[in-house]
Amino acid sequence: MLRSLVFAAVASLIAAPALAQRSGYPPKFEEGVKEHVFKQAGDVELKLYVFEPAGHKASDKTPAIVFFFGGGWVGGSPEQFAPQSRYLASRGMVAIVADYRVKNRHGVMGVDCVRDAKSAIRWVRAHAAELGVDPDRIAASGGSAGGHLAAATGTIKEFDEPSEDAAVSSAPNAMILYNPAASFDPATLIPGEKRGGNYGARMGVDPTKLSPADHIDAKTPPTLIMIGTNDYLIGGSRQFTDRMKAAGARCDLDLYEGRGHGFFNLRPNKPSKDFYATTKSLDKFLTSLGYLEGEQTVKEFFKKPKE
């Protein structure tokens, strides 16, 4: 009962406020963004939207990143991470935003969202030659519930689709998590937090089975977490980081003083200090892994006049 109530609070919080900019569904992107159906779930086609570097070819072996949108496993849009994807493409990386099933549109549980996220990573790796991607340099990223999904792909060993080729790994090689739901441990919640909704059974399985912090080992991919110190979910990020370090895995915890949930989002096409800062941190982390080269160009890129 306690765990159910705790998860209710977590799910409610990550479904909250700063989602106005994510309402676009079905998503729309500029000309040149390529679409690929990566999964057929019943009568639902799930797509990946690919942002390529200039002059990119299928014969290239370019690092890639797959972003998962936030929205409490209930709603949201792949458009959320289009700005970061455009930027990373300008820096020479293949950036991909993934669709996945959610409660409001498809009536699914959180475990189905995790299945879809794993399918997306596996599809990109299986089609690396077609996409011009290095199958050994694929990062997973996302915000809030999408951060949970990205973390789940790198930690949860169960819930792969039985129809898919298990010989192709569904785990990323790195993870970048924006204010993620990194743990469902009751001890990580802020004492006295009263927000919550009827989310106790949202996962469709015991939440501990999908709690990234409960499935860490020495092989968990190197991770960057970006979160505000006033975020309701910060306890989970701290726990995840501590357990990563205890396991001997790299986890960089990037804290933003006084910031709350969703602080990093680009708000109506006007980059903020926090958007710039988190995108620079994203660039720095990927550069440290050898996925990017040279100096970051965040402000220069987002100040360019629109064509």
**Is 7:203 a contact under the CB 8 Å cutoff?**
yes
Q: Report the distance separating Cα 123 and Cα 125, nearest Å.
A: 5
**Is 147:178 a contact under the CB 8 Å cutoff?**
yes
pLDDT value at position 189?
Answer: 74
Calculate mean pLDDT across residues 242-247: 98
pLDDT value at position 128?
Answer: 98
Q: Between 154 and 4, where is the model more confident? A: 154
Calculate mean pLDDT across residues 241-256: 98
**Is 140:68 a contact under the CB 8 Å cutoff?**
yes
pLDDT value at position 270?
Answer: 76
Of the pLDDT bands very low, low, confident and very high (cuts 50, 70, 90), residue 15 is very low
* pLDDT tens-digit map of 40-97: 999 999 999 999 999 999 999 999 999 999 999 999 999 999 999 999 999 999 999 9
Residue 184: closest CA among 153, 222, 151 = 151
* pLDDT tens-digit map of 155-210: 999 999 999 999 999 999 999 999 999 998 878 876 655 443 333 567 899 889 99
Which 8-state DSSP code applies to residue 198?
S
Which 8-state DSSP code applies to residue 233?
T
Task: Supply the mean pLDDT for the chain.
Answer: 89
* pLDDT tens-digit map of 268-293: 777 789 999 999 999 999 999 999 99
Q: Report the distance separating Cα 297 and Cα 307, nearest Å.
A: 18
pTM over 0.85: yes
Residue with tokens 């679409």: 35
pLDDT value at position 194?
Answer: 44
Of the pLDDT bands very low, low, confident and very high (cuts 50, 70, 90), residue 22 is very low
**Is 64:139 a contact under the CB 8 Å cutoff?**
yes
Strands annotated E in 102-173: 133-143
Q: Report the distance separating Cα 80 and Cα 30, nearest Å.
A: 14
Calculate mean pLDDT across residues 128-149: 97
Calculate mean pLDDT across residues 2-30: 56
Q: Between 303 and 107, where is the model more confident? A: 107
Q: Report the distance separating Cα 234 and Cα 154, nearest Å.
A: 19
* pLDDT tens-digit map of 184-199: 887 887 665 544 333 3
Residue 16 has pLDDT above 50, yes or no: no
